[in-house]
């Protein structure tokens, strides 16, 4: 961190702003020489084509003038050059190669760097391009910034349609201008002189150690860009700051010296400062709007509103959702196949009820115009609201203050509400507030990634529209799925005398306009109540009456009443679910953010699915997967058990479709869909969809875990038993008893989607075994209910026999549990030849290649060791974990949390802490660069997993709580609360001891590292934490190790 105001930015070009063919030219030129004119020298050298890696280029050649770079390369490979003639020959060959490549190779623009450069310039700093290459200007001139800004929806007054990247720089210097190249500081000193700014007031952005060294030698602030997992050489060269992506750095904060050190030696400026009970955005960055819309989303499991700005524009992705409101979309296949689904379901953006536009003296309030003097948004995790404060001066010079508070009610399921206020500041102003309902908004196309949801244009057909006084109403019906959606609004208005209210309506919009003249200091305030409803069977009048009634109840409660109800609801939730983390404020913020969003996804879903993105965005088409049962429900069943029960009741509601699907596949029982909204299979890819039959065992596992955690026998009889029976029947028909007496399940896909159609996937077999055993126990407990389901003694006996004879392969020679029967016989993926930009592998390699190799997308066997820990010894867990760590690339956001939990269990506490950081910060830090499509709910739930099941050591086994806590060095204290069988339990973990306390309910016996402890209210029990023998830290595939977690303070 520096303490000076920096005024100038100096940017290297190749590797920072552009990916030019320089590296390739150096490599190809030397290969041509060594295989041609210099062939006789080869035996004297260490050169091979494969030895010329990116690391060699970055460490020895990059950033240096041409002949110095050539000499450095020859020296590195021990190529004799006594009179430096060969260095000149190599430099000339490289230049010729570069000029040849420049005509055939497209120069890649690093979007993150261009956005950062634009922000630096917008902040008022002068900027200079500085490159050792004498070709830099031509490359810069070829890049259209006008096109870049337009395609990214950005606006900068200094950018026109014809602006090029070269035009952005105030001055340019290159290798022509100085006698010595990097690491000599001459180039950067010349740049500072050209800018007219003292070197100590400049920062330099570089990707090469030689460039970092040059900047530091010149007395400048050095920012390193580690695009190739090469942060350490940049640190070693003296970098003050290192980041993988420049768009994680706020330009204004770098200029003012307020950046913060990030994890693993990487430095990023956080979009959100760390605080215990909120997520706050200071300032406004248009390029971060997509992420913020997801992070600031509000929901109650029934209604979901993305965190779009009140005025609606600009936006990245407008989003208003009702759980299970979808439209069909065709699923065409080049070649059809039996059992393929003919259509899929896609969540749709329903009527937008959060829109409030503002005009000030006829000029629209739009943050892209005029001047935004201040802007702040805060997601308050205790109050359950999104607050916003803006001070804005219109292009005509009129200043207003705008504030809003938005909520989606937990207590009144159909209701969202907004308090909106505008105040004139320095001059009288005529203001018009337009509160609207808008259907069929234009939604940007999301293309290029199969994980992004499909977009349907104008999915809603108008049935009724109305506006009267302060109220408005729209009723629509989806074109194909036939779902009726109603949205209504009403308002309370508080303004000066003469305030006028008018309203109008159209098929796709309803508008209430409120006009007032404000003197300086006067305010116009409104409270907007919005009611939502939908149905696939109810009539238009019924839907209309439903939403009008919901509005009436909300208005009767009033704005302050709604706020009080919301706070009380959340106070109760945090009293039974809070997690406290001392020593790492960033993780503290992240886990509460995670719990809040998990609660929002399921609290009032009420027999509807919990999708992978909740109601925060359209990613994955709004589908629910197995994530719900295995990652999300474990959190809810111990913190909000009613929500967990409702999610399982939804599974029961789609059981008939699952049974029909099983019949279509020639199976008995129920085959639940891999991905769905309405219960029909939505996956068109058999190997990674239908073949993942483990989802059925996952549902059964969630049922048994819920019953164990709650003791809810009524649920077990009415809901759980039938789910257990039908999934058990599926596995009995899916598997078979072989000649050796083993029950086998062949041709299935486990959690790892880089292995498909495998025989005896251990995760699947262990979960099926648990499914069968649970079905046996439940059927015996409730014989009358079982009989109604057609279960008899012979069927129960067959389940028990299959469970006991379940085939669980083991590799005796290696002492390992194979992920599936033949997994360990495959070749290991060539991780060394896989570049960082080729992850995730599924977007760069055919599945055919992935399926034949030992490479793991996400925790599979490792996940089995958590859920079925009883099937593995401690030694087996440690050995298996070490082996699969070296194969797991974490191309799924589901993986890091599971790896964290097992790492903690086997004593690899720092590694567990590293993985905790990855899973906890995936959305707040946008680690996967796709938060714009919605939050990763399972990964957020995984942060709770990593803390409570990992460092807290919690396992729910045999209907009892078992703890084996241990903390990493970065956490001083961990405390958490859970609900268990109508009791509230508190656990506090410190470095050497753990304390258990029964906060409410009858006496309870728990286990601490194998010791049984009786808990009674007001009698906390403390026990010491035993040591554990730990092996060497496991290694990960090249470039895929988690960032080392270091404690940092963000402020």
Catalytic residues: 753
Closest CA to 306 of 392, 414, 416: 416
Q: Is the dihedral of CA 679, 682, 683, 686 positive or negative?
A: positive
Q: What is the DSSP letter of 620?
A: G
- Close Cβ partners of 64 (under 8 Å, ≥ 6 residues apart): 72, 132, 181, 182, 183, 210
**Collapsing DSSP states into helix, strand and coil, what is residue 712?**
coil
**Which secondary structure element, helix H or strand E, spans residue 420, and what is its range?**
strand 415-424
Compute how many other C-beta atoms are within 10 angstroms of the C-beta atom of residue 754: 28
What angle (nearest 5°) sits at the alpha carbon of residue 39, between those of residues 38 and 42?
100
Buried b (16+ CB within 10 A) or exposed e, 690-713: bbbbbbbbbbbbbbbbbbbbbebe
d(CA 554, CA 646): 25
d(CA 35, CA 967): 56
The DSSP line for 307-354 is ---TT--S-SS--EEETT-EEEEE---SS--TT--SEEEEE----B--
* Residue 915 near residue 1044 (C-beta atoms within 8 A): no
- Close Cβ partners of 260 (under 8 Å, ≥ 6 residues apart): 1, 267, 268, 269, 270, 1048, 1049, 1050, 1051
Q: How far is CA 545 from the centre of its chain?
A: 39
**Collapsing DSSP states into helix, strand and coil, what is residue 303?**
strand
Strands 429-438 and 509-518: antiparallel
Query: How close are the terminal C-alpha atoms of the chain, in Å?
Result: 12
**Which secondary structure element, helix H or strand E, spans residue 955, and what is its range?**
strand 955-957
Strands 202-206 and 221-225: parallel
* Residue 398 near residue 360 (C-beta atoms within 8 A): yes
d(CA 632, CA 306): 21
| Burial class (CB within 10 angstroms; exposed 0-12, middle 13-18, buried 19+) of 549 | middle
Buried b (16+ CB within 10 A) or exposed e, 249-286: bbbbbbbeeebbbbbbbbbbbbbbbbbebbbbbeebbb
């Amino acid at each position: 961190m520096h303490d000076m105001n920096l005024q100038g930015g100096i940017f290297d070009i190749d590797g920072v702003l552009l990916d030019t063919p320089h590296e390739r030219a150096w490599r190809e030129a030397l290969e041509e020489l060594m295989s041609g004119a210099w062939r006789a020298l080869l035996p004297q050298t260490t050169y091979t084509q494969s030895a010329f890696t990116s690391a060699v280029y970055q460490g020895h050649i990059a950033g240096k003038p041409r002949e110095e770079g050539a000499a450095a390369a020859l020296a590195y490979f021990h190529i004799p050059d006594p009179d430096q003639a060969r260095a000149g020959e190599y430099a000339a060959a490289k230049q010729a190669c570069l000029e040849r490549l420049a005509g055939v190779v497209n120069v890649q623009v690093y979007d993150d760097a261009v956005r950062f450069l634009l922000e630096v310039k917008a902040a008022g700093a002068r900027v200079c391009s500085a490159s050792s290459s004498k070709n830099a200007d031509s490359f810069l001139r070829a890049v259209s910034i006008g096109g870049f800004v337009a395609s990214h929806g950005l606006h900068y007054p200094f950018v026109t349609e014809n602006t090029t990247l070269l035009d952005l720089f105030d001055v340019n210097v290159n290798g022509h201008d100085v006698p010595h190249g990097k690491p000599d500081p001459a180039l950067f000193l010349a740049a500072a002189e050209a800018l007219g700014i003292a070197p100590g007031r400049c920062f330099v952005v570089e990707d090469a150690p030689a460039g970092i060294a040059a900047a530091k030698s010149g007395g400048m602030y050095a920012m390193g860009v580690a695009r190739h997992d090469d942060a350490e050489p940049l640190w070693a060269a003296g970098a003050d700051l290192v980041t993988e992506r420049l768009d994680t750095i706020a330009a204004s904060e770098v200029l003012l010296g307020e950046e913060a050190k990030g994890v693993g030696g990487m430095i990023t400026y956080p979009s959100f400062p760390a605080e215990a009970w909120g997520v706050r955005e200071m300032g406004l960055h248009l390029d971060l709007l997509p992420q913020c819309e997801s992070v600031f989303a509000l929901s109650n499991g029934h209604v979901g509103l993305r965190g779009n700005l009140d005025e609606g524009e600009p936006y990245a992705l407008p989003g208003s959702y009702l759980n299970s409101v979808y439209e069909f979309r065709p699923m065409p296949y080049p070649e059809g196949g039996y059992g393929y689904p003919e259509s899929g379901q896609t969540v749709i953006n329903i009527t937008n009820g959060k829109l409030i536009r503002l005009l000030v003296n006829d000029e629209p309030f739009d943050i892209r115009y005029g001047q935004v003097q201040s802007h702040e948004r805060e997601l308050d995790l205790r109050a359950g609201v999104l607050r916003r404060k803006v001070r804005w001066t219109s292009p005509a010079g009129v200043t207003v203050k705008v504030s809003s508070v938005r909520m989606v009610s937990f207590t009144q399921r159909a209701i969202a509400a907004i308090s909106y206020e505008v105040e004139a500041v320095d001059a009288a102003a005529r203001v018009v507030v337009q509160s609207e309902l808008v259907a069929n908004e234009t939604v940007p196309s999301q293309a290029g990634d199969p994980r992004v949801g499909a977009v349907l244009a104008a999915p809603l057909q108008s049935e009724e529209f109305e506006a009267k006084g302060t109220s408005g109403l729209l009723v629509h019906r989806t074109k194909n799925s036939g779902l009726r959606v109603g949205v209504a609004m009403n308002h309370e208005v508080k303004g000066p005398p003469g305030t006028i209210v008018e309203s109008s309506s159209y098929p796709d919009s309803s508008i209430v306009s409120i006009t007032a003249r404000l003197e300086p200091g006067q305010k116009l305030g409104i409270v907007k109540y919005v009611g939502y409803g939908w149905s696939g069977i109810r009539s238009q009048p019924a839907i209309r009456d439903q939403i009008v009634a919901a509005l009436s109840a909300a208005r009767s409660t009033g704005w302050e009443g709604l706020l009080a109800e919301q706070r009380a609801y959340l106070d109760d939730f945090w009293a039974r679910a809070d997690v406290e983390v001392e020593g790492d404020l960033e993780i503290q913020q992240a886990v509460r953010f995670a719990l809040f969003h998990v609660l929002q996804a399921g609290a009032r879903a009420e027999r509807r699915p919990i999708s992978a993105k909740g109601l925060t965005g359209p990613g994955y088409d709004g589908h629910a997967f197995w994530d719900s049962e295995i990652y999300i429900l474990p959190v809810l069943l111990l913190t909000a058990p009613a929500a967990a029960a409702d999610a399982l009741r939804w599974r029961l509601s789609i059981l008939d479709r699952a049974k029909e699907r099983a019949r279509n596949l020639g199976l008995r029982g129920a085959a639940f869909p891999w991905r769905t909204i309405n219960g029909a299979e939505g996956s068109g890819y058999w190997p990674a969809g239908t073949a993942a039959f483990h989802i059925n065992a996952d549902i059964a596992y969630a049922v048994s875990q819920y019953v164990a955690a709650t003791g809810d026998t009524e649920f077990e009889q009415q809901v759980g038993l039938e789910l257990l029976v039908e999934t058990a029947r599926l596995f009995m028909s899916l598997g078979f008893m072989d000649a050796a007496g083993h029950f086998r399940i062949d041709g299935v896909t486990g959690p790892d989607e880089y292995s498909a159609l495998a025989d005896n996937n251990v995760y699947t077999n262990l979960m099926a075994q648990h499914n069968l055993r649970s079905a046996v126990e439940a059927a015996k407990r409730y014989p009358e209910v079982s009989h109604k389901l057609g279960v008899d003694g012979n069927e129960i006996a067959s389940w028990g026999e299959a469970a006991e004879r379940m085939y669980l392969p083991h590799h005796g020679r290696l002492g390992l549990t194979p992920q599936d029967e033949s997994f360990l016989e495959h070749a290991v993926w060539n991780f060394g030849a896989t570049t960082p930009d080729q992850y995730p592998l599924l977007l760069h390699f055919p599945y055919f290649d992935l399926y034949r190799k030992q490479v793991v997308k996400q925790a599979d066997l490792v996940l089995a060791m958590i859920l079925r820990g009883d099937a593995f010894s401690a030694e087996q867990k440690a050995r298996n974990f070490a082996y699969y760590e070296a194969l797991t690339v974490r191309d799924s956001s589901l993986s890091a949390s599971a790896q964290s939990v097992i790492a903690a269990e086997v004593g690899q506490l720092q590694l567990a802490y590293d993985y905790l950081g990855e899973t906890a910060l995936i959305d707040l830090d946008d680690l996967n660069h796709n938060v714009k499509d919605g939050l990763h709910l399972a990964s957020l739930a995984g942060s709770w997993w990593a803390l409570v099941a990992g460092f807290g050591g919690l396992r729910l086994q045999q209907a009892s709580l078992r703890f084996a806590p241990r903390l990493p060095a970065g956490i001083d204290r961990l405390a958490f609360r859970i609900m268990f069988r109508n009791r509230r339990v508190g656990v506090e973990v410190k470095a050497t001891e753990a304390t258990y306390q029964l906060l409410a309910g009858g006496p309870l016996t728990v286990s601490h590292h194998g010791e049984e402890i009786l808990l009674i209210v007001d009698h906390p029990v403390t026990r010491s934490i035993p040591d554990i023998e730990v092996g060497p830290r496991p290694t990960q595939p090249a470039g895929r190790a988690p960032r080392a977690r270091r404690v940092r303070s963000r402020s």
